[in-house]
Each structure stands twice: as C-alpha cells, then as structure tokens.
Structure 1
Amino acid sequence: MKKIVFIFILISIIAQSRAIAQTASGNLTIESYYKVKWGYADEFIALWKKNHYPLLKKLQDKGDIVSIKAEAPVLHSSEDSRWDFKVAITFKNEHLALDYSIIDPFKKDLYPDQEGYKKAEQHRFELLISHWDVIVEAIPLPQ
C-alpha cells in the first residue's frame, strides 16, 4: 500500500512539475504540508528536525538545495483546511527535486543506528493525519 501511495505522489509531483515552468534560475520549490494528530505537533516537528532536517542540510551544503524554510501557523484554521507544519524547499533544479534517492548517501553517515532511525521515522509518520506536497512558483508583481 505504501508503494502505491508513493507512486501516486510521485506521479502527481511529476505532473505538477511538467505543468509549471521553472524559474529563470532553474530552481524548483516544493512546499510540504503536514497535518498532525491533535497534541502531537511539537513531537512531530522535533522528530523532523532530528531525523530529516540534517539530511536536507547535507544536500544544501552540497549545493543541491538552495534554501529550506520551515513554518508553523500561529492560529489554527478549520479542521478540513488545518495544517501544523510546512517546509518549503527550493532545489537547484527539477531533477534534484524529484530524485528521492539523493539523501540515501547521507543516511548511514548521519544515522549509524539504522534500526533506531527507521523506528523514529516510522513513529514520525504515525503522528500524521495527512501530508501533501505542492510545487510552487513565484509570481512577479509590479513595482
């Protein structure tokens, strides 16, 4: 089931990316939204910072990622439109944005206890109600 969901998400992202022109610099920005079970947002964010952010930082240090920005809402909206955590990642190009294997070389170096890492990541995703990714583009505004 997880493979089917992953494939669906990947196809959606590829379809969105094909429909959107990249910026003049070639960068591609993906915003990831996370809706977490009530009362667990802080735990989810702490796990994200511990287990996923270091991998993204390695990619940023390598030059594959241009910027990483994380945000949480100050106030909550209605349940149907609520999200608890958002991460905007700007990749150097479309290929890097859609290649999920680019973090693999860093996993063993950063997390030698792979069993512990996998359990923590599994728990992080158990805290989620939903997660979605949106490819965004900047809209130039008149001065």
Structure 2
Amino acid sequence: MMKKVILMTGLMVWSIALFAQDKPLTIENYYKLKWGHAEEFIALWKKNHYPLLKKLVENGDLLRITAEIPVLHSGEDTRWDFKVTTTFKNEHLALDYSIADPYKKQLFPDRESYAKAEQQRFELVLAHWDVIVESVPLN
C-alpha cells in the first residue's frame, strides 16, 4: 500500500512540476479508512500530521488547512471518511515534501515513536487520493 502511495505521489509531483506556476495550489486529500477506525485515524492525524501543517502555516508556506468528514453515508465505491484541504503559497512549496522535515525533528524528537504512530495511522487506510483543485470564476 505504502509503495503504491509513494509511486502515485511521485507521478503527481512529476506531472505538476512540468506546469508549476507561482500561484496558490489547493489539494484535497481524501482518506477511505477501515470500518470503525475513522476516529482513531483522525486522532493520529491530529497528533502527528496537523502540527506539521500548522508550522507550515506559521512559516507562510501553507495558506489554509481545513478538514471535513461526511455527514451522510455514500456507496462503498464512492465512500471517503476524512478529507483535508490544504492551500499552499505556490505550487513549488506544495510539491516540496521535505519542507516539513525540520519541523518533524523539532516536534517529534523521538523518531522511533513518531514512525510507529505514522505506521499505525497508515495501516488504517484502505485508500487515499489527492485531487488538485482550482476555483472556477462564475462571473
């Protein structure tokens, strides 16, 4: 599963890098989780990933973070359990996966515990996809 996520992320990065511009980039991250484990996943996300995103906001690299859960259920083929939307200052920052590394060392000095918690979080994921979106002017 992790190898597939890394490969897909790499392909996305490569394709976006070809068209990178200096304008904000919004990405919706969808997570489909094992039944009954959404709360556990969200708690781990808030503990281990959200602090990193908040540091990126403080630094000005990330402009906005929102998180949502569905209120009503959908069919299994279209189900998602958690969505995080991030808007980066520009496309280059959105594609630089190393920008959070200094904060990881600062926020999580016990690298072994952090790695275990992240492994646990990803073991709860059945599917994950990222969608780059942009607003459509209606006027």
Alignment root-mean-square deviation, CA: 1.9
Query: Alignment identity in percent?
Result: 65
Q: 2:49 aligns with which of 29, 52, 73?
A: 52
Question: Aligned letter for 1:135?
Answer: I
| Structure 1 runs of 4+ with >3 Å offset | 1-5, 16-19
Question: What residue number does 2:9 align with?
Answer: 9
Q: 1:37 aligns with which of 34, 39, 48?
A: 34
Q: Is the 8 A contact 2:64 2:88 kept in 1?
A: yes
- SS of the residue corresponding to residue 102 of structure 1 reads coil
Equivalent pairs, count: 139
Q: How high is the TM-score relative to the length of structure 2?
A: 0.92
Pairing of 1:86-101 with structure 2 (within 5 A)? 86-101=83-98
Matched, 1:28 2:25: yes
Question: Aligned letter for 2:97?
Answer: Y
Q: Cα deviations across residues 121-142 of structure 1 (Å, max 9, x unaligned)?
A: 0000000000000100001112
Matched, 1:115 2:112: yes
In the TM superposition, residue 11 of structure 1 has moved relative to its aligned partner by 1.2
Moved more, 4-13 or 59-68: 4-13
In the TM superposition, residue 8 of structure 1 has moved relative to its aligned partner by 2.9
Q: 2:79 aligns with which of 50, 61, 82?
A: 82
Q: State the alpha-carbon separation in 1 of the partners of residues 16 and 93 from structure 2.
A: 15
Q: Cα deviations across residues 46-74 of structure 1 (Å, max 9, x unaligned)?
A: 00000000000000000000000100001
Question: What residue number does 1:66 align with?
Answer: 63
Q: 2:103 aligns with which of 97, 103, 106?
A: 106
Matched, 1:128 2:121: no
Gapped runs of 5+ residues in structure 2? none
Q: State the alpha-carbon separation in 2 of the partners of residues 53 and 89 from structure 1.
A: 11
Q: Is the 8 A contact 1:17 1:135 kept in 2?
A: no
Q: How high is the TM-score relative to the length of structure 1?
A: 0.89
Q: Is the 8 A contact 2:17 2:92 kept in 1?
A: no
Pair 138,87 (structure 1): closer, same or farther in 2 beyond 3 Å: same
Gapped runs of 5+ residues in structure 1? none
